Structure 1
């Protein structure tokens, strides 16, 4: 009986259709995972290789894309194995690790986007002070905090969850997220309070900061020359698109947790897949196509640069 407490069974959506077409789903998700790895790694490689991209804005982009690779790798390998297995089984400890990585890296995404918005604010609104503010030391500290703060905070919820007694052993999701709370025999007030604190600290506060800084940027750009407005549009719009996309997907995750029993299973599956399908592919597409300097090097790498 002691061993059963340490085992959590994951049921892939609970659909007969999923098992019926599991090889098709496996091939589709395997292809998507390879595309995620290749597309994100290509942009990171270009930023690392070319010295003209060794600027704070591109360094933050590289960090964001690396975060996407880690985010996907936390989910895809186990998910692909589950497609080929008769039973989708994971130990509770491994489930907590996946839960921890999922939310820690998700929190890092918001903080990295906040760092990018601050970088654009200083660049456009305080151009003369930019070299003294955005130093290598400042960038290193920002990157470290972007990964360490969510990691430490989510670590608290994972630790509390590890000490909770389980009365359920079936998750109605395809990977470990906050649905693990529904396995606990008694709802934890401490977990609820800590979860709300983390949500505010690594999601809502960075989002408000981002919206505030971009509002300031667009106000100043509107009052400035056409060149400044063009620079603001070229560098800020891709970041805003990524923010909006990721915020909507995180909203889906909260909805799934609160309204799981009221949402049809196929709708749950589709909404959950959006968290791991669209966003990791969306980032490199946006930054590879919309960021002029990255796009230029990408075209040269793919030998599609136009010759005059």
Structure 2
């Protein structure tokens, strides 16, 4: 057995020789990263500098956009270095650090979407009591708990994985993945599996049930309410619902990629599927919210073009 502390590096075997195309891939990934950073920073600045947007819904959006920057920074610089490198290795400490960043990013996605659905539920189902139920203190507590619970939960996951005894150091992905490392273990992984299953249920299934409940109540109010209520629900819930569907697809692709034998699938397609949630979501969210929410859209135009 090789103890995990004796594994000084991991080899990422999903990279393949792209020849002269690696510079093209580098430019494409770099351009995508720049677009993601600019889009998310723009919306964060627009919300922060305009007092009219200092409402719970937009503050939750800031938390979402900051998380997109956090997750993208945990992935894209690493990808850029690996694309130009001829030896696709990563040190063990950095690998576990990247796992921590990417897993906490994914956890925060669901937590943020859950708090946002709760906010919309209060705004649509209890419009007259909204400001007394969703106070500034409550918003701050919800955002703080969202980040704290994600960091603590993923911290336990990484600490359990880093203490495993490993019998290899080859990971069949383009970035460090916790489940891929657990599969390398030649020691007992029951604690890792039990905690992983329990934590996944808390992170994914319980939030999905809460979101499902809030949307059932919102639909109930919409069908029995006025046309103005329905229009408000559609305008504010459409971006959230689209983001939820997109992130669910990303998690589905990731589960399929890690749990099932994908050797018959071309490596390029496997890599794209594994990167879906980490690349499409940070680009999708700012575009969706920026285009769908008229208040943000008009303020973005004013900031960029100087229009009144």
TM-score, normalization by structure 1 = 0.94
User: Gaps spanning 5+ residues in structure 1: where?
Assistant: none
Whether the aligned pair in 1 keeps the contact of 2:15 and 2:88 (CA below 8 Å) is no
Q: In the TM superposition, what is the alpha-carbon distance from 1:116 to its structure 2 partner?
A: 0.5
Corresponding pairs, count: 304
Aligned to 1:195: 196
- After superposition, give the CA deviation of every residue in 1:192-238 in whole Å (9 maximum; x if it has no partner): 11111111101111111112101210110111000000000000011
Take 1:149 and 1:130, find their aligned partners in 2: how far apart are those partners? 25
The SS at the match of 1:176 is: coil
Aligned partner of 1:115 in structure 2 is 115
Q: 2:247 matched to 1:246?
A: yes
> Match of 2:99?
99
| Alignment partner, residue 212 of structure 1 | 213
Distance 1:5 1:74, change over 3 A: same
Look up the match of 1:293.
Answer: 295
Greater shift in the superposed pair: 100-109 or 240-249? 100-109
How far the C-alpha of 1:145 sits from its partner, in A, is 0.9
Report if aligned partners of 1:30, 1:80 keep a CA contact under 8 Å in 2.
yes
Give yes or no for contact 2:247–2:281 (8 Å, CA) kept in 1: yes
Cα deviation for residue 187 of structure 1 reads: 5.1
Cα RMSD for the two superposed structures: 1.7
Deviation at 1:190, TM superposition (A): 0.6
Q: Alpha-carbon deviations, 1:47-91, whole Å to 9, x = none?
A: 001011000000001110110010000011111111111112111
Q: Is the 8 A contact 1:181 1:187 kept in 2?
A: no
Unpaired runs of 5+ residues, structure 2, are none
User: Is the contact between residue 262 and residue 270 of structure 2 (CA under 8 Å) also seen in structure 1?
Assistant: no
Q: Which consecutive segments of 4 or more residues in structure 1 shift more than 4 A?
A: 1-4
